Amino acid sequence: MQLKSMPRAASWTHVDVRVGFEVLFVDGHRLRGRTSAREGESTWYVGYEIDVDDEWQTRTVRATNSTATGEREVVLERSTSGWIVGGVARPDLDGCDDVDFESSAVTNTLPIHRQPFVLGETFEVPAAFVQADDLSVIRLEQRYTLLRSDEDRHVFHYESSTFDFVCELVYDASGLVLDYPGIAVRDR
């Protein structure tokens, strides 16, 4: 599966589960974004910066959020010795190569850029999952299977046993989500 270069900016509208909007700016190996939403009685916005290396391995993540109860910030760092979250070693995140934000459709691009996906082959890609309302981090078990791929689109079967969630994710030629059923739709 070949990916084209990512656009310098993109945006998504949240659908179904929440009402909101997300924007992304791409600067080399840094993804900067903001997402704001209302889900049930909760409202929030989350800002993030994700630094990846040339192999699309997540290295540093900075996240801030603002909710009715105040503002928070968390820094995640990943090295060969594991994840450090807010200055604390997190061995429960061992084996997680990526970060995934509850509030974002963007972070599903990280494993797509890194893994050598082959049609029909399933990849386990656990991630450090950052929750929107309080920036707490848990382990997210997930797997991707490439179902279809052409020069314009890539379709993956996605499963998360952590949240008992299954869907088909549609990506554009650059590996950014176009359609995340029940979560977000790309509008630019």
101 burial class (0-12, 13-18, 19+ CB within 10 angstroms)? buried
SS3 call for 108 = helix
Q: Is residue 157 one of the residues assigned to a domain?
A: yes
Residue 3 forms part of a structural domain = no
Domain with 96, as residue range(s), is: 9-186
Whether 156 is covered by a domain: the verdict is: yes
Average pLDDT, integer, range 112-126? 94
Predicted confidence band at 181 (pLDDT cuts at 50, 70, 90)?
very high
Is residue 23 very low, low, confident or very high in pLDDT (cuts 50, 70, 90)? very high
Whether 14 maps to a domain, the answer reads: yes
Residues whose CB falls within 8 Å of the CB of residue 34, separated by 6 or more in sequence, listed in order: 22, 23, 45, 46, 47, 48
Q: Does some domain include residue 1?
A: no
The whole-model pTM stands at 0.94
pLDDT over 90 at 1, yes or no: no
Q: How far apart are CA 137 and CA 183, in angstroms?
A: 20
What are 123-175's pLDDT values in tens digits? 999 999 999 989 999 999 999 999 999 999 999 999 999 999 999 999 999 99
For the chain, the domain total comes to: 1
Residue 2, domain member (yes or no): no
| Residue 4 in domain | no
Geometric angle at alpha carbon 164, from 49 and 176, rounded to 5°: 35
- Is 66 inside any structural domain? yes
